Amino acid sequence: MNSSLSLITDLLTISLSIHLSSLLVLDPGINIFSYHTGPTIFILLASVLSFYIFNLYDIPRFKKSGETAIRLVAGVSLANILAGFVSYVFGHWQFPQGLFILQAVISYPLLFGLRKLSSAMHASGDKERVLIVGIGDSARELASVMGGKGGNYQVVGYVVDNKEQWGVAPDGLFIAGPVGNILSIAEAQQAKTIVLADEPQNLIAHMDVLLRARLSGIVVEEMVNAYERVTDRIPVRFIQDRWLLLEQGFSLYSKEVVRKLKRTMDIMISSLLLLLLWPLLLVVSVLIHRDSPGPSIFRQARVGEGKKEFTLYKFRSMVQDAEKNGAVWAEQNDTRVTKIGHWIRRFRIDELPQLFNVLKGDMSLVGPRPERMEFVKQLEQTIPYYYLRHTVKPGITGWAQIMYPYGATEEDALRKLEYELFYIKNMSLLLDVKILCRTLGVMIFGEGAR
């Protein structure tokens, strides 16, 4: 069961729970969907939004029953809180007394059971069979990524021209060839997708047979595009200047309208959040001041769009002069973190003062996290295309922040850059909204903090 089907079954399940609840609360002759149309539609939409916030449409997660149960409780509760608030504000949208609670009690076991069924179906379902052309490092890494547990693909083997390589690869997959016979190999292996992971010059002689494979209904695609589709990140080590130059999505100036709308959204949302959260900001500021000596607000130079430095604001979560011996990455269980700092970092509250950076225009709500110049210079020497993350405004949250845990090594920086390149390539207001929604779930469950 894919995420789209899961969303549809959620809507049907919640509709059923509303109907069953109405039978217990209302007179039998009253149709809840016609008599209370507004609140019914709202709770359906609020439920889908809540489930997305808590990442309940990530199908591989369904194998973890405990985590799924907790997230479902959070999702159902948030949906009902939102619906209750709206019905309080708009009196004509009120559900009958007790229906909210009954609906939640009935829907929860049904939703949990469906997710367990979805997990079982996903594990036993047919997977798309894939052939990879090539047997280099990039091909083997792609096979590992596409054939990972919980995925929708099964890599059945590699196809190469060199007879000396035919046989069985170290990962247990067969190696066959030549590439000229790929149509018959694909038919024998029932492969519906061919991924090109060999050097372009080695494929020139096989363009005719690859075109015939595509015209026969087989999906033929470049390795980088397959990698991006499966992982939602772009493999920095395997891309080249030519791919960046010709691939759609990196022409940022063609997205000028998107950038202007994004700036408008930044100003509106950050202003609203500051208006709503100022009591929390005040309380946190006092707690930090009482917990340890030093100012509540921490200021630090960070690198922004166009590689220009700006002053970033954060709530101080470490002891005063934590970096008197030089800049270092934060570590797991970092001893420099204060008691209050531990909790505000866990739930990302320390980042809230950056809303002022958003208003100033130094940052956006969504984008790559701004790094320090010392680390930028170091990482640009070792990570290809690291400079590309400075082609857009940095953000309070981003695709890398919701997809990858906190990182403190160059390998982590490389992995995060792959997610950031995915964001830059696919930048849109819809993607920003998705990231902001998922960020709420990350904050509530304290994921990835350090």
pLDDT tens figures, 387-396: 999 999 999 9
Residue finishing a domain among 231, 264, 287: 231
Regarding whether 171 and 156 lie in a shared domain, the answer is yes
- In this structure, is residue 294 part of a structural domain? yes
- In this structure, is residue 390 part of a structural domain? yes
Average pLDDT of the chain, as a whole number: 87
Regarding whether 317 and 184 lie in a shared domain, the answer is no
pLDDT value for 326:
60
| Alpha helices (runs of H) in 232-299, residue ranges in sequence order | 241-246, 256-291
DSSP assignment of 246-264 equals: HSTT--GGGGHHHHHHHHH
- In this structure, is residue 384 part of a structural domain? yes
pLDDT value for 397:
94
Query: 3-state class of 168 per DSSP?
Result: strand
Residue finishing a domain among 124, 149, 183: 124
- Which range among 67-81, 90-104, 320-334 shows the weakest confidence by mean pLDDT? 320-334
Regarding whether 188 and 114 lie in a shared domain, the answer is no
Regarding whether 371 and 223 lie in a shared domain, the answer is no
Regarding whether 353 and 336 lie in a shared domain, the answer is yes
Render the burial of 227-265: b for 16+ CB within 10 Å, e for the rest: bbebbebbbbebbeeeebeebebbeeeebeeeeeebeeb
Regarding whether 415 and 266 lie in a shared domain, the answer is yes
Regarding whether 208 and 313 lie in a shared domain, the answer is no
- In this structure, is residue 415 part of a structural domain? yes
- In this structure, is residue 241 part of a structural domain? no
Regarding whether 420 and 315 lie in a shared domain, the answer is yes
Domain count for the chain: 3
Q: What is the mean pLDDT of residues 60-82?
A: 80
- In this structure, is residue 333 part of a structural domain? yes
Q: What percent of the chain has pLDDT over 70?
A: 89
Regarding whether 416 and 297 lie in a shared domain, the answer is yes
State residue 448 phi and psi, 5-degree precision: 75, 0
pLDDT value for 31:
78
pLDDT digits (tens, 9 = 90+) for 315-326: 999 887 666 666
- In this structure, is residue 243 part of a structural domain? no
pLDDT band per the 50, 70, 90 thresholds, residue 242: confident
User: Which range marks the domain in which residue 193 is found?
Assistant: 128-231
Regarding whether 207 and 116 lie in a shared domain, the answer is no
8 Å CB contact between 284 and 344: yes
- In this structure, is residue 248 part of a structural domain? no
Contacts of residue 404, Cβ cutoff 8 Å, sequence gap at least 6: 412, 415, 416, 419, 448
CA–CA dist 284, 302 (Å, integer): 23
pLDDT band per the 50, 70, 90 thresholds, residue 213: very high
Regarding whether 213 and 115 lie in a shared domain, the answer is no
Residue finishing a domain among 73, 97, 124: 124
